[in-house]
Structure 1
Amino acid sequence: MDQHVVLEALSALLETNVKPYNAFNENFNELNLGELNILNFLQIALGKALLDLSYTPSHQVLRSGFNTDVRQDMLVDMDEFFEPRFDYDFTRTRDNSICMRGNESYKRPYGWYRIALKVLNKYPDGNDWLGTNGWRSHSVVGEWPVSYHGTSIEGATGIVKSHYRPGPREQYGRGIYSSNDVDHASSYSKVFTSKKNGKRYRVLMQNRINPVMRKMCNQHWLIEIPEGTSPAREKEIVERSIRPYGILLKEV
């Protein structure tokens, strides 16, 4: 997948302008730009850039908050954020194979192209949550199920409250909603037009979700984050509960 299109997909998810480090000749420490990494990706995509110096450089000023959609430009280290060897083209893949991940049915994202994120060895509890690499129909011990998530500023200001959209349908509580059905999640995906090739794409996140932390809510899986939870605790809950490991693109 073309690097420019990948960056456009990231920019669409975060609703900001994401650039690679090598796009700048200046010293990064002198730039008032945010740094995107694996551990702050989901929080920023949800509109909640958590101010924690253990994950963000001291010079960074993150202006997006729980109740605002103000975003700053961000820089990403492409080599540390993406893992091309695990990319997978599902656009022409079709079969009736039954796959399991985390003892749950895994609906493979047929019709999509997956851009893999560099998540190995990024979390203190190891890599069991990812399972083993390669095609397989069965789950392995310690593996988390797969979920899909589409988010937007219009549908999620801060932590998602209701089926990715605010309003009277908030039935199950406050937290992060995702789905194990890629087709259902697609209806909440962002769409962007590439300046590189003029094509239009949908973009989703592909995640693993901790089965101990989720709540089953009809077609959605909910990671509950109670009202009044501190930012530090929110970050802890997110990292223990739901972890993006791929970005999905589909031409429309």
Structure 2
Amino acid sequence: MPDINLCLEALSALSGCSVELTSGASQLTPQDFVNIVALKQFYKQEGFKELEYPSLGTLSLQDDGDLYGPPPALTEGPPPSIKATMKINIQDFFDPMFDYDFTNIQDGNTQFLRGNEKYVRPCGWNRVALRVNQRYDDGNGWLGTGKDAWPVSYHGHNMDGSLGIILTHGGDPSEEPRFLETAANSLITTEKKGRGVYSTPDVKMAEKYCKTFKSNVDGKMYKVVLQNRINPKERKKCQREDVWLVYIPEGRNDVQTRAIVQESIRPYGLLLKKV
């Protein structure tokens, strides 16, 4: 496992919170963490400035900038908002038994499957495993390699409707032919962004939109991405093959929106890559 302080910095960079250690129980679970990352991006693209999350309170949706770089220059106007603090316990948040360093691995033409779908392994990245084993009521089948496993997806910090997979005129993914036609037409009109949470099965694409931070541990720059499993029943394949959407219908309140994300995306790895 990489230096624990580096891992905390990576979690802080992704979430926009100040992630600290505690000897007690973790304040939030890995599932809460991916909820926060996904919901912050979703509400930001919806035009909101803040997100309310249970046990954390109000989270700013403003750009965090370089979390560990020099402080911004003083300007007139209100002071920047104070970052929420998230406390985690190493023992119940991370699972070192399943860490895997892909930094110097190249798969070439070797193919891997998860849930009978192609799995592009995160070659070039160092994976820090999150403790999700036996944490869900439906067991661990979603995390396996068999036909019941969920496909792998990667979440980059800035993945949203600007990727070009755009819903316009009320397109509904449940009506797939109409949805695909609407998405195709919207590639030309680009009238508004799609409504939902975006991820990708291609780690190289996630890297283009990932968060970068400078570490106080070694002074190096790092990229960070979340490795997740995505519920195939909730995921919608978009016009672009390398982009997946968890669709959030209009009219859903905060609790319902959080439930959709929680039922659709489960994290299991924190990926780090030195720039």
**TM score, norm. by length of structure 2:** 0.73
Query: Which is further off, 94-103 or 215-224?
Result: 94-103
CA RMSD of aligned residues (A): 2.7
Indicate how the Cα distance of structure 1 residues 118 and 44 shifts in structure 2: closer, same or farther if over 3 A, else same.
same
Partner residue in 1 for 2:274? 251
Measured after TM superposition, the shift of residue 75 of structure 1 is: 0.8
Alignment-mate amino acid for residue 59 of structure 2: S
Does the alignment pair 1:95 with 2:81?
A: no
SS at match of 1:232: helix
Partner residue in 2 for 1:105? 118
SS at match of 1:10: helix
Distance, in Å, in 1 between the alignment partners of 2:162 and 2:251 is 17
CA contact (8 A) 2:103 2:125 kept: yes
Alignment-mate amino acid for residue 154 of structure 2: Y
Structure 2 counterpart of 1:115, from 121, 125, 128: 128
Indicate how the Cα distance of structure 1 residues 86 and 120 shifts in structure 2: closer, same or farther if over 3 A, else same.
same
CA contact (8 A) 2:34 2:267 kept: yes
Describe the superposition over 1:66-93 as per-residue Cα deviations: whole angstroms up to 9, x where unpaired.
x667541211111111001100000011
1:42-61 alignment, distance < 5 Å: 42-46=34-38, 47=40, 51-52=53-54, 60-61=55-56
Please tell me whether Structure 1 or Structure 2 has the larger radius of gyration of its CA atoms. 2
CA contact (8 A) 2:120 2:203 kept: yes
CA contact (8 A) 1:89 1:112 kept: yes
Describe the superposition over 1:137-158 as per-residue Cα deviations: whole angstroms up to 9, x where unpaired.
xx4131000011111xxx47xx
CA contact (8 A) 1:163 1:170 kept: no
Structure 2 counterpart of 1:232, from 249, 255, 271: 255
Measured after TM superposition, the shift of residue 174 of structure 1 is: 0.7
Partner residue in 1 for 2:227? 206
**Length, aligned pairs only:** 221
Indicate how the Cα distance of structure 1 residues 175 and 82 shifts in structure 2: closer, same or farther if over 3 A, else same.
same
CA contact (8 A) 2:236 2:244 kept: yes
Distance, in Å, in 1 between the alignment partners of 2:259 and 2:85 is 25
Measured after TM superposition, the shift of residue 236 of structure 1 is: 1.7
CA contact (8 A) 1:162 1:170 kept: no
Alignment-mate amino acid for residue 229 of structure 1: R
Distance, in Å, in 1 between the alignment partners of 2:191 and 2:227 is 23
Alignment-mate amino acid for residue 252 of structure 2: T
Alignment-mate amino acid for residue 7 of structure 1: L
Partner residue in 2 for 1:6? 7
Indicate how the Cα distance of structure 1 residues 170 and 123 shifts in structure 2: closer, same or farther if over 3 A, else same.
farther
CA contact (8 A) 1:50 1:235 kept: no
| Bigger proportion of residues as helix | 2
CA contact (8 A) 1:206 1:247 kept: yes
Measured after TM superposition, the shift of residue 42 of structure 1 is: 1.4
Measured after TM superposition, the shift of residue 171 of structure 1 is: 6.3
Alignment-mate amino acid for residue 64 of structure 1: L
1:1-252 alignment, distance < 5 Å: 1-22=2-23, 35-46=27-38, 47=40, 51-52=53-54, 60-64=55-59, 71-96=83-108, 97-131=110-144, 139-151=145-157, 155=158, 160-163=160-163, 173-217=194-238, 218=240, 219-252=242-275
Measured after TM superposition, the shift of residue 250 of structure 1 is: 0.4
Measured after TM superposition, the shift of residue 95 of structure 1 is: 2.6
Give the fraction of aligned pairs with identical amino acids, expressed as a percent.
Answer: 43
Distance, in Å, in 2 between the alignment partners of 1:63 and 1:164 is 30
Alignment-mate amino acid for residue 107 of structure 2: D
